[in-house]
Chain A
Amino acid sequence: MTYTGRELIAARCAKFFKDGDFVNLGIGVPLMCTNYLPEGVDLWLEAEIGIVGSGPTPHYTEWDVDIADAGGLPTSLIKGGSIVPHDRSFGFIRGGHIDACVLGTLQVDQEGNIANWMIPGKFAPGMGGAMDLCAGVPRVIVATDHCEKNGASKILKKCTLPLTGAKCVTDIVTERCYFQVTDKGLVLKEIADGYSLDDIRACTEAAFTVADDVGVMG
């Protein structure tokens, strides 16, 4: 199956996970990853509210007013799931017990810095748990549109907005390509069907090198 756009981003991110991984997925495209998990890969999804093993949203007749997700919406637990207090939920995050997280973003840069929580004077909902994820999770995957609506690159040499985390991003997946973040900067690993290397260069402000074995993303 060939995916495009946000489906492609979610499907590519889903390939990072191994069976049994304990992960935190943000609302939107990150949570869509669960629709594209490879056969035989089951995850423990964390909700910061204190759920280990979040399940799907049940039919409304099954909603329990006392079971909510991190956004305060109805949810369920998978078989084997557990409920923990809020501070322990962040202990999982900061303590390195979560294997990977997927975050959306406003900006990301070639040093692995991410800015997704504030546009001074315009947008300031608060960082919620995003800074804790950046500080404690070993694999921080950014899932984002490659560009703003006006065409400006979201993958920059240096973030200009207030940071959510410094030098923490490990992977950047867009609808156009996949970059790995290394000590030496970004490495272009995969390009989506329909784009050329020149296309990627044209829409990316950040500097990057091209992997010897650069492949097709999917």
Chain B
Amino acid sequence: MKQKVFSLEEVLDKIKDGQRIMFSDRHGELAADEIIDGMIKKGVKDITAVAITSGQPGMGLGRLVEENRVRRIETSHIGLNPTAINQMFAGKLDVEFIPQGTFAERIRAGGFGLGGVLTPTGIGTMVQEGKQILFLNGREYLLEKPIRADVALLRASKADKAGNLYFRQTNHLCQDYMAMAADLVIAEVEELVEIGELNQELIHVSAPVVDMLYVRKGEKRPMHPNWQRMIDKIKAREAAEA
């Protein structure tokens, strides 16, 4: 079986300046954190990020934005990341806002071999500017083009050594379609198991499309920093009340 477990250095060797990189994150709680650490240390820059949001300060893609490593971002939302908003208004960060459902379908098209998607989302808004509109079955649709990337950075709850991936609970998110739409698919893995140990009915991304696994060195799934701050506040309030 092809060897897919790699060191951080071997993974970072494939991540280069100027690449288009997909991040399968939400608001920074589902990032390939140790790989992002490594990217910052290595000095990777001028990347185009493709992600549902731009992360938050100190979390996920937000850290690369803070370090000025992101030149352009294709996303649906940057509202929880004031640094990204400031960079955008200052002209330092090029932002393409994509409706979130369209974001999913454009990447899906990129990974599933489709030439584009026809969607009613964005008709009558500035999202339609410069795009072809088709009138079909009594309704207007926008032709939205596929999105692909050089690298997809995923975060898996479990992987087996063959490269099959499993995502716990809401971590499933966009990871399966992103795994289909990048030339190189890298997963930062919380728990690595032997081949055959994952329930074959619960494999969300199949091994052949995954290229590299990196097993986290730190805590598998630490509490999110922003959740920890919320817990500290609640505890302080409870203590004050008691």
**Hey, which bits of chain A sit against chain B, CB under 8 A?**
47-51, 60, 63-68, 71-74, 83-87, 90-91, 93-94, 113, 121, 124-132, 134-136, 162-167
Residues of B within 8 A of A126 (CB): 53, 75-79, 95, 97
**B173 at interface (Cβ–Cβ under 8 A)?**
yes
- Interface membership of chain B positions 40-83, coded 1 if the CB is closer than 8 angstroms to chain A and 0 otherwise: 00000000000011001000000000000000000111111000
Contact B173 A166 (CB under 8 A): no
Contact A125 B85 (CB under 8 A): yes
In the complex, residue of chain A having the shortest beta-carbon distance to the beta carbon of B97: A126
In the complex, residue of chain A having the shortest beta-carbon distance to the beta carbon of B231: A60
Residues of A within 8 A of B121 (CB): 94, 131-132, 134-136
Residues of chain B from 93 to 132 with CB closer than 8 A to chain A in the complex: 95, 97, 99-102, 104-105, 108, 119-127
Contact A66 B168 (CB under 8 A): yes
A135 CB contact (under 8 Å) in B119, B168, B226, B234: B119
Residues of A within 8 A of B231 (CB): 60, 63
Across the A-B interface, the 7 shortest Cβ-Cβ residue pairs? A166-B124, A125-B79, A90-B101, A72-B27, A132-B101, A126-B77, A131-B99
State in angstroms the CA–CA spacing of A49 and B27 once bound together.
11
In the complex, residue of chain A having the shortest beta-carbon distance to the beta carbon of B26: A72
Knowing A66-B170, A72-B28, A87-B105, say if A94 contacts B221 (CB, 8 Å): no
In the complex, residue of chain B having the shortest beta-carbon distance to the beta carbon of A130: B99
**Hey, which bits of chain B sit against chain A, CB under 8 A?**
26-29, 52-53, 56, 75-80, 85, 88-89, 95, 97, 99-102, 104-105, 108, 119-127, 157, 168-174, 176-177, 204, 221-224, 226-227, 230-231, 234-235
In the complex, residue of chain A having the shortest beta-carbon distance to the beta carbon of B27: A72
B101 CB contact (under 8 Å) in A47, A113, A129, A167: A129
Contact A66 B100 (CB under 8 A): no
Contact B125 A66 (CB under 8 A): no
Knowing A90-B104, A164-B125, say if A127 contacts B29 (CB, 8 Å): no
Contact A83 B170 (CB under 8 A): yes
Contact B173 A50 (CB under 8 A): yes
Contact B76 A65 (CB under 8 A): no
Contact A135 B122 (CB under 8 A): yes
State in angstroms the CA–CA spacing of A51 and B120 once bound together.
23
Knowing A50-B170, A68-B29, A83-B172, say if A90 contacts B100 (CB, 8 Å): yes
Residues of A within 8 A of B119 (CB): 94, 135
Residues of A within 8 A of B224 (CB): 65, 72
Could you list 23 examples of A-B contacts with CB < 8 Å?
A49-B173, A50-B170, A65-B29, A65-B221, A65-B227, A66-B169, A67-B169, A68-B29, A72-B29, A86-B172, A87-B104, A91-B101, A94-B101, A125-B79, A126-B76, A126-B79, A127-B97, A128-B79, A131-B99, A131-B122, A132-B99, A135-B119, A166-B124
